[in-house]
Amino acid sequence: MGDLGSMRIENESPQLSLVAPVIPVRPNSTIPVLMGLLLLLGGILVMIMGYSEISRQGEPNLPESEVKQLETGFSQSSNITGEDIQDLHDELRHAKYYWYLGSGFMFGGLLMLVGGVQLLRRRSIGAKLGMGGNAIVILAALISYGISSGPTNELGSVVSITYTGLAFVYGICSLCCGIFAAFPLLHASGRAALNPHLQIPQELGTHPGLITNQAEEE
């Protein structure tokens, strides 16, 4: 019996590769609306604080009730009188402490307010305005800390720590508001809900469900 030869079967079919389906992100309009509301309230509060600080710039003396309250708090750890507190107020006023802090709060709060309104309208520019406003508030807190560090150190560690802690609280609160403003851009569902006026609506003939139905009918 002769050689039948060798037979070789080659697999000519291409290799199959699995492709994971792309799941579209569903827009969640609650995220920008809620963050916009928080930013709106925060902007109003910051502007009120800024107006209060600017008003102090024009006051030659602090109200007597406030002086007594500060004197009671400071005198527990050091011998600080009401006259010392008034002198500190004069030094801060001449150094434009209240003006820098109040102006930064007013302008930053205004940007936060406008940014909150824009986020309520689901506009991405609102998040950017909010973050910009919070950056200005943080900068104002840093400037005020630099101005107050010298005069407060002369009255002892208690006064210095008080004003340092005040600037720290301002910075932390502003940073939290900045996170609120940036959250719609960081979250996928929130980002998908922004700028609905720029999204191209699907045409009737190109809707995926209609294409499937037409294919089944044919």
Q: What is the domain count for the chain? A: 1
* pLDDT at position 205 over 60: no
To the nearest whole number, what is the mean pLDDT of the chain? 81
Asked whether residue 114 is assigned to any structural domain, the reply reads: yes
Exposure letters 22-39 (e unless 16+ CB within 10 A, then b): eeeeebbeebbbbbbebb
Q: What's the pLDDT score for residue 46? A: 93
pTM of the predicted structure, to 2 decimals: 0.75
Asked whether residue 117 is assigned to any structural domain, the reply reads: yes
* pLDDT at position 39 over 90: yes
Q: What's the pLDDT score for residue 6? A: 53
Asked whether residue 138 is assigned to any structural domain, the reply reads: yes
* pLDDT at position 75 over 80: no
H/E stretch holding 45 reads helix 30-57
* pLDDT at position 4 over 80: no
Structural domain for 119, as ranges:
47-194
Question: In the predicted model, what is the mean pLDDT of residues 69-84?
Answer: 77
Q: What's the pLDDT score for residue 21? A: 64
Asked whether residue 115 is assigned to any structural domain, the reply reads: yes
The tens digit of pLDDT for each residue in 84-141 reads 888 888 999 999 999 999 999 999 999 999 999 999 998 999 999 999 999 999 999 9
Asked whether residue 217 is assigned to any structural domain, the reply reads: no
Asked whether residue 139 is assigned to any structural domain, the reply reads: yes
Separation of CA 50 from chain center:
18
Asked whether residue 124 is assigned to any structural domain, the reply reads: yes
Exposure letters 167-187 (e unless 16+ CB within 10 A, then b): beebbebbeebbebbbbbbeb
* pLDDT at position 202 over 60: no
Asked whether residue 165 is assigned to any structural domain, the reply reads: yes
